[in-house]
Structures are given as C-alpha cells and as structure tokens.
Amino acid sequence: MPEPRDRTRPAMQRFSFLSLIGHALRGHAGWQQQWRTPEPRPAYDAVIIGGGGHGLGTAYHLAHDHGMRNIAVLERGWIGGGNTGRNTTIIRSNYLFDESAALYDHALQMWERLSRTLDYNVMFSPRGVMMLAHTHHDVQVLRRHVHANRANGIDNEWLTPEAAQAFCPPLNIAPTLRYPVLGAALQRRGGVARHDAVAWGYARAADALGVDILQNCEVTAIRRDADGAVSAVETTRGTIRTGRVGIVAAGHSSVVAAMAGLRLPLESFPLQALVSEPVKPVLPCVVMSNTVHAYISQSDKGELVIGAGTDAYVSYSQRGGLHVTTETLAAICELFPTFRRLRMLRNWGGIVDTTPDRSPIIARTPVPGLYINCGWGTGGFKATPGSAHVFAWTMAKDAPHPINAAFTLERFRDGALIDEAAAAAVAH
Ligand SMILES: Cc1cc2nc3c(=O)[nH]c(=O)nc-3n(C[C@H](O)[C@H](O)[C@H](O)COP(=O)(O)OP(=O)(O)OC[C@H]3O[C@@H](n4cnc5c(N)ncnc54)[C@H](O)[C@@H]3O)c2cc1C
C-alpha cells in the first residue's frame, strides 16, 4: 500500500497549454522549482548511487510503484552529467535474443508514453532506425535479426538499397563504395529522445513523490554489518545509514561495487560522440552502420549527431582517441557525400562499462541489501524506462521481475550468457 503524499510538499505542477497561458499572463513568476535541493538525512530506506536516467528512474518507480518514500539518489556531480547527458540517444528494441528483445521492447513501449507518464516532454521521436548491411555476412546477420524480432512480435523489416535510399534520401548507395550498402534493417518504431529531459523528467517526478536528490554527493565507501549486509554509505556529505543500496553508476560501476568488496565482470572504455554545425532538416531518420562504426541522426536544433566506436583499451578518461572520430567521419562522408562540407562543432566522451556478452546486469548481488544495474555498455539509454522499472521491482521485492530474471551476475559463472556481443557490435 503506497504511503500517502507528504502534504507539506506542494503537488507537482502539471504542464499543459492552459497552464502555460496562465503563467504567461502572470509574467512567468509562479513556476515551481523542478526539484528541491535538500540536505542529506541521516538514514534512508533505500539509496540509489548514480543520478543518471537509470538511477533517477529507479527512484521514481520505487516511490511510484512500490510506495517507498524515504529514498535518496546520490550523485557525485550533477544529475544527467554522466552518460545520460553524453549519449546519442538512439532508441530501438531490435535485439537478437529473446531476453534482450523482451527487455528493450518493454522499454520502447514505455518510451511511447513516457512524456505523459512524467508530464514532461522527453521529445521521443520515433523516426525509424535503419541499420546498414555492407557485406554478405552483414546481410545474413541483419536478416536473422529481422526474423528473430518478428517472431518476438517486434517490428523490423528488410529494405533493398533502393528502398533504404527512398527512406533516407541523402544515403549514398553507389555500388562503387568501399563498403557498399547491400540492404538495411529498419525498425520504424525506433528513434531518438532528448537525453537531458529524461533525467529532468524523472528527477521532477521522483522529487514530487518525496525522493531526495542529492547532487555533489559522492559515495566513497559502502559499509557492511557483522552479517555482511549493507548498513551505510559514506559520502562527501556525511554518513547515510541504509539497508538497501542500488548501484547505478554506469562507467564507475566496478569502482563503486568494489567498495562493498564485489568484483564485477566489466571493462570500462571511453566512447565518443560529436555534433556538426546546425543545418536545416536533412536527415529524416537514424542511420547506423556497425561495420564502418558510424551512426548518425539530426537533432531538433539541426546538428548532425554522430557517434563513434569505443577506444580499443580500457580507460577512465572521459575523452577518446582522435583517430577513432577521424575514422567515423571518413565513414560518414562516404555514406553521405553531401555532409562533407559541414564543420564539426564539438565532441565529447563518456565511459561505458561493458560485460563480456554485451548485455546488462540488473540483479541482486551476493551482498545482502546490495543491488546492481550496470553493464549497459554503449547502448543503455534506450533501455532507461524499462531498466528503471524492473530494477525498482528487484530492489523493492528482493527478487527479479520476469523481464530481468536472466540478466544476473551469476550468468558469467554458469555460462547462461545473453550473447549480444557479436550480434550487437557497436550497438547503440
Ligand atoms: C558517447 C556515447 C554515446 C552513446 N550512445 C547511445 C545511444 O545512442 N543509445 C543508447 O541506448 N545508449 C547510448 N550510450 C550509452 C548510454 O549513454 C548509457 O548506457 C546510459 O546513459 C547509462 O545511463 P545511467 O543512468 O546508467 O548512467 P549515467 O548517466 O552515467 O549515470 C551514472 C551516474 O553515476 C554517477 N556516479 C558514479 N560514481 C559515483 C559515486 N561514487 N557516487 C555518486 N555518484 C556516482 C555519475 O556521476 C553518473 O552521473 C552512449 C554512451 C556514450 C558515452
């Protein structure tokens, strides 16, 4: 039974056309703060480490679905400042294996109504995600995806090069290309969303349900009691007692888990993205090529948003090698000759934590009271709503939701891998 709303806290202001007019007439002086800036309490029923989309979403679902109110999200920097605010926002659910397809399509279905759920425009734009095949092997792999997805009730269709170009006119399908386009798999329900808005929308909705969002609050240690269970976290803003901790720290998952004596099967790599100067609408969909390691879409501001591959070595530096972006841009220029004259505006990097099978871990851990949501590698943004929903379930019930039951830590010991590794390649 959910606890009643704290009446000392104002109800979340609803956004609507009428409220916009009302506030405009009052000089926009009456807008509420989106979320509070509270001081840490000495104890919480649950603590989430990491204020990205997954962490904030988990806190929202713990409060909304499971009636918990005494929750804190601890973020060492600012919310959305990690990979949530650094990614290229590609959303799709056309993964190969049944377990992945169920997880990512659960998320995609939630994306389709997320703006309404949160009363916050996350600018989800299902403009279609097209994945290019450049070799005979690519054709076989992507057609296998199409068949597997359709057997799972997930939309995915095979396009000839001409149909691919009709869907995306700037695409070069000349047979003389070094990596010619031999066809494409298209998921029409896939697309992009506004990354910051996802973090802000979840933060606002979670705060309205009583969740404390503590920014500039880095977790430095995880304390365990005599039985080995989690008992507290040490932070740069003091000690916080709690018996339930969820680690949702993306590129720093291993570092944080090690604070509780837990070793994770993860490697962390830099991954880069860059944007061009803004231009008028020119690219109507998302295009990905795993073979030439490039993917591209156009933001609502007009910038071409381009993603590269990961660096070849592990690192915690939030910047990658120049040669990686150079190769990506060469591939983009070959696929889209009209983009050759564009100048690049800025680039940045994030740290992605990757598992050996390139599928996430969303699970309990051997440490009582400690839960982990990590290993999303280069492709976790698309899963944000679904991941948050099932992870909150796992934390609240101390048992997995049927959708994340296979995404355990133990699969790396037992061999029950969900091997999207070769299937997914750069996988965004
Ligand atoms: C360049 C790039 C492009 C990408 N493109 C795509 C894409 O197109 N589609 C897609 O689906 N995915 C993509 N991804 C992956 C995606 O961004 C991530 O999988 C996803 O955003 C992870 O979300 P999160 O909430 O788990 O992590 P984050 O948003 O990184 O949140 C984790 C938070 O934990 C905090 N933290 C870490 N350590 C501590 C500590 N000790 N104490 C407190 N807080 C701590 C960090 O500051 C961070 O804010 C991309 C990633 C990158 C870097």
Mutate to test the pocket of ligand 1, among 75, 76, 83, 245 (most ligand atoms within 8 A of CB): 83
How many Cβ atoms from other residues are within 10 Å of residue 341's Cβ? 7
Tell me, using a 6 A CB cutoff, whether residue 54 lines ligand 1.
yes
Given CA atoms 396, 77, 191, 176 in this order, what sign does their dihedral have? negative
From 316, 231, 219, select the one nearest 266 (Cα to Cα): 316
Token pair listed for 206: 């979670």
- Give the predicted TM-score (pTM) of the model: 0.96
Could you give the C-alpha distances from 381 to 54, 86, 87, 299, 312, in angstroms and in order?
Answer: 8, 10, 7, 16, 22
What angle (nearest 5°) sits at the alpha carbon of residue 305, between those of residues 339 and 167?
65
At residue 421, the pLDDT reads 75
CATH superfamily for domain 129-188+267-354:
D-Amino Acid Oxidase, subunit A, domain 2 (3.30.9.10)
Q: What angle do CA 37, 396, 64 make, to 5 degrees?
A: 50
Q: Which residue has the tokens 């295009």?
A: 287
Q: Give 243-260 pLDDT, tens digit per residue.
A: 999 999 999 999 999 999
- Model confidence at 94: pLDDT above 70: yes
pLDDT tens track for 109-159: 999 999 999 999 999 999 999 999 999 999 999 999 999 999 999 999 999
Residues 358, 74, 112, 209: is their CA dihedral positive or negative? positive
How far apart (Å, rounded) are the C-alpha atoms in residues 175 and 408?
Answer: 44
- 196 ligand 1 Cβ < 6 A: no
What share of the chain has pLDDT > 90, as a percent?
90
Q: Among 298, 378, 420, 426, which is best to mutate for testing ligand 1, by the most ligand atoms less than 8 A from CB?
A: 378
* Ligand 1 atom having least distance to the Cα of 50: 34
How large is the average pLDDT for residues 48-62? Answer: 98
How confident is the model over 393-412, as a mean pLDDT? Answer: 98
Q: Where are the domains of the chain?
A: 36-86+195-266+357-424, 129-188+267-354
Nearest-CA residue for ligand 1 atom 18 is 380
Q: What's the pLDDT band for 1 if we cut at 50, 70, 90? A: very low
Closest CA to 320 of 329, 328, 310, 331: 310
| C-beta 152 within 6 A of ligand 1 | no
Q: What is the DSSP letter of 201?
A: H
pLDDT tens digits for range 19-47: 999 999 999 998 989 999 999 999 999 99
What kind of architecture, by CATH, is found in domain 36-86+195-266+357-424?
Answer: 3-Layer(bba) Sandwich (3.50)
CA 426 to ligand 1 center in whole angstroms: 16
User: What is the residue with the minimal CA distance to atom 51 of ligand 1?
Assistant: 87
> Could you tell me the pLDDT band of residue 294, with boundaries at 50, 70 and 90?
confident
Contacts of 269 (CB under 8 A, 6+ apart): 310, 311, 313, 314, 315, 351, 352, 354
